[in-house]
Amino acid sequence: MNSGKILSGKKVAEEIRAEAARDVAELAGSGVRPQLDVVLVGDDPASKVYVGSKARACDRLGMASNTHRLPEDVAQARVLDLVHALNADPEVDGILVQLPLPGSLDTHRILDAVDPAKDVDGFHPTNVGLLQQGRPRLVPCTPLGIMELLRREGIGVEGRRAVVVGRSDIVGKPMAMLLLHAHATVTLCHSRTRDLASVTRQAEILIVAAGRRALIGPDHVAEGAVVIDVGMHRLTTEDEVESLFPGDEERRRRFADKGSVLTGDVDFVRVLPRAARITPVPGGVGPLTIAKLMANTVAAARWRRGV
C-alpha cells in the first residue's frame, strides 16, 4: 500500500530515543541521572495512558521518573504546593503537568508556577516568549518532533508554503512559530477560517492539529503535498471503522481484538492518493512526542546542572 509515502514517526522516534539513551549513559559518567516528574490530576483515561507511556519511556532509557497522582477534586493550593516542591528539589530535572486539568483548577496559574528551567513541555510564558523571539530553549514536544521528522526525512521547509490547522498552545501556535523560524511561509487556520479547503489546498506542507476526526479530506489537499496528522481519535463502532477504512482487514481485526481503533484528523485512506508523504495514525506523530519529551528532559538536566 504506497508504503514509500508513509512517514513513520516510529522510525524517527527510535533514532531520537537512541540519541537520548547515549546522552543518558554519558551523563551517568558525571553521576547525573535525568529525572522527570509528572503531575496527573483526576482520572481521565487518555491522560492515564499517556502518563504511563511517559514513565515507561523514562525507564527504558535509564532515566528516573515519578508520577504524582492527585484526586479530581484536589484544591488548587495543593497542586501549587506540589509544583513548588518539585521546583525546589535538586533531583528533579523535568516537570510535566498532564493536561487537561479538571475545570475547577486554573491551568495558567499552575503552568506559570513551573520553574522555566524544568518546563520540559515548553508551556511556561518565558519559554513561549523565547520561542516567539526565535531563541528557543524548551519547546513543546509535538511540534518539535514534527520538525525533526521533516528534517530527518529530507523534507525541506525553507521558502515553502506551510499551512497549520488548529491554534492550540500545545501544537498549532508553537508549530507555526517553528515553521516560520525555519523560513516557511506560514498560514495558521482554525475553526472560524472561512472556506478551509481553499486555504489548505495552498499547502505544500499541511499540518493538522484541529482535534476533529477526518476533518481533512481529499478536497483539502493539493496533489503532492506533505501531510502531517496530529489528531488522535478512537473509533468505537464497526460502522465508523468501515466508513473510514473500507475493506481494511487488518484494522477490522484490531477492532475485533481491542474494541476500538485509532484514527486522526485526516481521512487517511482518501487523502493518501493525493499526498506525496503522509503520517499514519497510529505510528505517526504520537511516538515523536514522547521521544522529544525524553530529549527535552535530558537537555534540561544538562543545562540546569551545567554538564
Catalytic residue among 98, 118, 173, 292: 98
x/- contact string, 149-178, with ligand GUN (CB under 6 A)? Answer: ---------------------x--------
Q: How many CB atoms lie within 10 A of CB 11?
A: 14
* β-bridge mates for residue 278, sequence order: 6, 227
* β-bridge mates for residue 188, sequence order: 164
Q: Cα angle at 288 between 178 and 282, to 5 degrees?
A: 120
**Shortest distance, CB of residue 51 to ligand GUN, whole angstroms?**
9
What's the distance, CA 53 to chain centroid?
Answer: 13
Is 121 designated active site?
yes
> What would the grid cell of residue 268 be?
487517511
**Shortest distance, CB of residue 156 to ligand GUN, whole angstroms?**
26
Q: Which is nearer to ligand GUN, 120 or 226 (CB)?
A: 120
Q: Which is nearer to ligand GUN, 225 or 288 (CB)?
A: 288
Report the site for ligand GUN in 79-118 (rule: CB under 6 A).
96-99
Query: Is 189 a residue that touches ligand GUN (CB under 6 A)?
Result: no
**Shortest distance, CB of residue 63 to ligand GUN, whole angstroms?**
17
Q: Which is nearer to ligand GUN, 98 or 127 (CB)?
A: 98
Query: Is 131 a residue that touches ligand GUN (CB under 6 A)?
Result: no
Nearest Cα to 295, choosing from 10, 9, 14, 8? Answer: 14
> Who's near 33: CB < 8 A, 6+ residues apart?
24, 27, 62, 63, 64
Is 54 designated active site?
yes
Is residue 118 classed as helix, strand or coil in its secondary structure? helix
Catalytic residue among 54, 118, 173, 292: 54
- What is the dihedral sign for C-alpha 13, 16, 18, 20? negative
Q: Which of 37, 121, 204, 265 binds ligand GUN (CB under 6 A)?
A: 121
d(CA 294, CA 120): 9
Residues that bind ligand GUN (CB under 6 A): 96-99, 121, 141-142, 170
Give catalytic residues, as residue numbers: 54, 98, 121
